[in-house]
Amino acid sequence: MIATGIKGTRTVEVTDDNTAETVGSGTLRVFATPAMIALIEATASLSVAPYLEEGTSTVGTHLDVAHSAATPVGMEVTCETELVEVDRRRLVFSVTVRDSVGEVGSGTHERFIVDDARFMSKAESKLP
């Protein structure tokens, strides 16, 4: 059963592959904001996955985060999520991202529990 208090943690190394320069969100060799967003989504998603019914998953629907400090190539960043609100299928997470010096990002992330087959059917109905 999904209940508030579920926590997730995930750590990644900042490499050339996830810099702003490489992903196109800037020109500098620092951890990219889109990479931070992907880390937040993955951490939240994986944290609740063991509690979902078979044939369901979660999809990200809203982010309200600040990327407040740069992290250079060679350092690690760790994302911590906590499920703080459950409203039927809507899940809200508090998120914090840190490197070894301190906080580099924080905010909230919203996900919805979906039926995989129904969700994919609706998405694929957009195809000609």
Point out the residues that are catalytic: 33, 41, 67
Assess contact for 70 and 31: CB atoms under 8 A: yes
101 contact partners, CB below 8 Å, separation of at least 6: 69
46 contact partners, CB below 8 Å, separation of at least 6: 8, 10
In 32-89, alpha helices (H): 33-48
Rg value, the chain, Cα = 16
